[in-house]
């Protein structure tokens, strides 16, 4: 039996503020400061290596990332069909074209509720919290042209080779920690499960293929994540016109980052065998997000209750 885990993202930020001091002025100094900070603040051993404008952080763990516990929930006999259920979504960017294929099932009968739930291991949560503080302490003070554009955090259970890969835009993390964005950040940090036998016992992450993440790859992953969330976990799940809903998600995501390096968007509704093409001007007509306003001032301290963050169980209110 296959278990599909939808992991939106995790932000584990402490309730105590973090003061930047002795800001390094080169990327190599920042990487060194980051690894030393993580070790000193939480005895967290990580490796940090930059490839182009992407910082790769590897967190080897001798614990499982998740705890499985009985939930006590029972399946009810009077389940109502879901108006629109997302069966599959994939996407890619080739040359100047973004392509997304999706399968939406109308009036789908919900599956049985499993008698168990999953939560992040508390020790893993604490280690991830240190990583975010380390990024703030070490990289936020770098000039924009010298700082990483993206950060990829790979956390792996060394006994199984199973872990989680999170890709974040450093500018998004800055906005979040200064209060410019809130719930929407959980949809911006792209998270995926990973598994590789070569990672078993790999303390240094030698088996990882580290590459410079392009904007198109990051945005494609985020768009797919937003679509999954909208149809499966949002408090405002669509009940009609899935093509328009998905087109709006694509348009809004590209508009948020002011991304213009494309000519057309191709959507393919697999169930209805319908293809739709949009050029930039047509896509702009679907945008319904307001421009973000940067908030100046000191870093804002935000306290999170992370007890309910678990695969397939997170909810946010930033999505409409």
What tens digit of pLDDT does each residue of 86-99 get?
A: 999 999 999 999 99
Mean pLDDT lowest for which of 27-36, 205-214, 234-243, 286-295? Answer: 286-295
Position 90 scores a pLDDT of: 97
Closest C-alpha among 244, 256, 239, 249 to residue 290? 256
Mean pLDDT lowest for which of 40-49, 68-77, 203-212, 237-246? Answer: 68-77
What tens digit of pLDDT does each residue of 1-16 get?
A: 233 332 333 443 433 3
**pLDDT at residue 301 above 60?**
no
Mean pLDDT lowest for which of 8-22, 43-57, 228-242, 265-279? Answer: 8-22
What tens digit of pLDDT does each residue of 195-219 get?
A: 999 999 999 999 999 999 999 999 9
Global pTM value: 0.83
pLDDT band of residue 111 (cuts 50, 70, 90) is confident
Q: How many CB atoms lie within 10 A of CB 235?
A: 9
**pLDDT at residue 318 above 70?**
no
Q: DSSP string spanning 43-99? A: ----EEEEETTEEEEEEEESS-SEEEEE------S-PPPEEEEEEEEEEEEETTEEE
As a whole number, mean pLDDT of residues 45-62 equals 97
**pLDDT at residue 308 above 80?**
no
pLDDT > 90 in the chain, percent: 66
Specify whether the CB–CB gap between 67 and 121 falls below 8 A. yes
Position 22 scores a pLDDT of: 53
Query: How far apart are the C-alpha atoms of 61 and 203, rounded to whole Å?
Result: 8
What tens digit of pLDDT does each residue of 148-174 get?
A: 999 999 999 999 999 999 999 999 999
Specify whether the CB–CB gap between 82 and 204 falls below 8 A. no
């Amino acid at each position: 039996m296959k278990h599909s885990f939808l992991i939106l993202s995790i932000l584990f930020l402490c309730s105590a503020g973090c003061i930047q001091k002795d800001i390094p002025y080169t990327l190599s100094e920042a990487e060194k400061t980051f690894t030393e900070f993580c070790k000193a603040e939480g005895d967290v051993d990580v490796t940090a290596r930059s490839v182009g404008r992407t910082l790769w952080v590897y967190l080897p763990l001798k614990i499982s990332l998740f705890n499985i516990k009985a939930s006590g929930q029972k399946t009810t006999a009077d389940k109502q069909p879901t108006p629109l259920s997302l069966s599959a979504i994939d996407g890619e960017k080739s040359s100047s074209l973004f392509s997304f294929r999706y399968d939406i099932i109308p009036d789908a009968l919900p599956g049985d509720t499993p008698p168990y739930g999953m939560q992040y291991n508390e020790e893993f949560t604490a280690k991830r919290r240190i990583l975010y503080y380390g990024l703030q302490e070490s990289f936020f003070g770098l000039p924009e042209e010298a700082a990483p554009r993206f950060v990829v955090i790979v956390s792996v259970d060394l006994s199984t080779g199973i872990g989680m890969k999170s890709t974040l835009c450093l500018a998004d993390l800055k906005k979040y920690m200064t209060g410019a964005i809130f719930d929407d950040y959980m949809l911006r940090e792209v998270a995926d499960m990973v598994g590789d036998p070569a990672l078993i016992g790999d303390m240094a992450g030698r088996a990882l293929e580290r590459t410079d993440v392009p904007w198109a790859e990051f945005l494609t992953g985020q768009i797919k994540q937003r679509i999954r969330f909208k149809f499966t976990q949002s408090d405002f799940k669509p009940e009609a016109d899935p093509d328009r809903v998905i087109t709006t998600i694509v348009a809004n995501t590209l508009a948020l980052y002011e991304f213009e390096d494309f000519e057309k968007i191709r959507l393919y509704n697999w169930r209805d065998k319908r293809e739709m093409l949009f050029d930039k001007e047509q896509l702009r007509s679907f945008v319904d997000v307001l421009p973000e306003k940067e908030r100046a001032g000191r870093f804002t301290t935000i306290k999170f209750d992370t007890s309910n963050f678990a695969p397939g169980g997170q909810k946010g209110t930033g999505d409409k």
